[in-house]
Amino acid sequence: MCVFCAAIPATLAVGAKVQADQMRERREAEERGESLTEQRPVPVGKIALVAAGALVVASVIVHSQNSG
């Protein structure tokens, strides 16, 4: 398996884990009654999807160049 193909599921798994941790921390802060920061949370899920999409494009380019 090429590096790009192996990185796609790894990127999505890390993105899902970080997003779940972020949601858990927000939920726990709300339960403790702490005021949430005025900052918007980082859209980790969307960033992971964009990164995975870029890896898919890179993988297609690499595989199409090697086949001919």
Domain ranges of the chain: 3-34+42-66
pLDDT at 9 (0 to 100) = 95
Angle between helices 44-66 and 3-32 (to 10 degrees): 180
φ, ψ (nearest 5 deg) of residue 12: -65, -40
Contact 40, 26 (CB under 8 A): no
Closest CA to 52 of 16, 1, 11, 15: 11
pLDDT at 6 (0 to 100) = 94
Residue 68 pLDDT exceeds 80:
no
Longest dimension (CA), the chain: 61
Tell whether pTM > 0.85: no
